[in-house]
Structure 1
Amino acid sequence: MRHVFPALLLLLASAAAAEPIAPDRIRVIDGDTIRIDGQQPDRRLVGFNAPETRNAETERERELGGRATARLREIVRGGELDYAEVQCSCRPGSEDSAFCNFGRKCGVLKSRGEDVGAILIREGLAVPFICGPTGCPPAPNPWR
């Protein structure tokens, strides 16, 4: 049962009401964060974790983070995108604050119907990262 719950959360996040979004509306911040229409807050894409670029702990992580960021930019430029905002996994009362996901919103971005996180995971540029309804485990970082 323990493995069913995270899979269910990913399914629910993926099933959110997605709407088409033009590539020129999206700025890729890093491999799992985007900005829409140049407006803050940024959107943390859910269901996966990509290596860090700015706050990388090792040179290997920084290099992989750069590759994940470049690949996400390539996917976005390819178009045929759908985006859905989803509820972040935050403690009740902390939504829309710095205490919830560093003040970011959460979302799901798909390219040609496939979650971009699944693409990055398949290509070795991200790992699965599933949060619960009110919080997340420590972010997986096998790149250290």
Structure 2
Amino acid sequence: MKCPFCGHLETQVVETRVSEEAVFIRRRRQCSACDKRFTTYERPEVSLPAIVKKDGRRVEYEHDKLLASFHLALRKRPVSTDRIDGAIERIEEKLLGLGPREVPSSRIGEWVMRELKKLDKVAYIRFASVYRSFKDIDDFRAMVDEVRK
């Protein structure tokens, strides 16, 4: 690490601390040339793939948008925040583990439906009715029959 005071390239870590939220690491460093101390912060850099929408647009992945979808589907349903967070975490792990730089939004939609089906059947049907654009009551009935099996 380059010293911000004298520009010397050799510095020594004197102290290391993890933040209270465990989001970053704080390091106190000392320059071996001028003996001045300074602080650096390390944060992980995570690169999630771009999302390809149905119309071909590419947008950045948004955690808050996914969370909002879950909250909307699970509105007034008895599902804990921890379980919702776990479902979102599993989806994000899949995104990170895929490798490609782009993922179709339809794939994420299917993952959301799978997670909702495990969490709450009513929320699953709510989400599916919008996601799959039910045309009439027969589409809705077929989905309910599928859940009952």
Shorter-normalised TM-score: what interval? 0.3 to 0.5
More strand by share: 1
Which is higher, the Rg of structure 1 or of structure 2?
Answer: 2
- TM-score for the superposition, normalised by structure 1: 0.32
- TM-score for the superposition, normalised by structure 2: 0.31
More helix by share: 2
Q: Which has the higher contact order (CA 8 A, sep 6+)?
A: 1
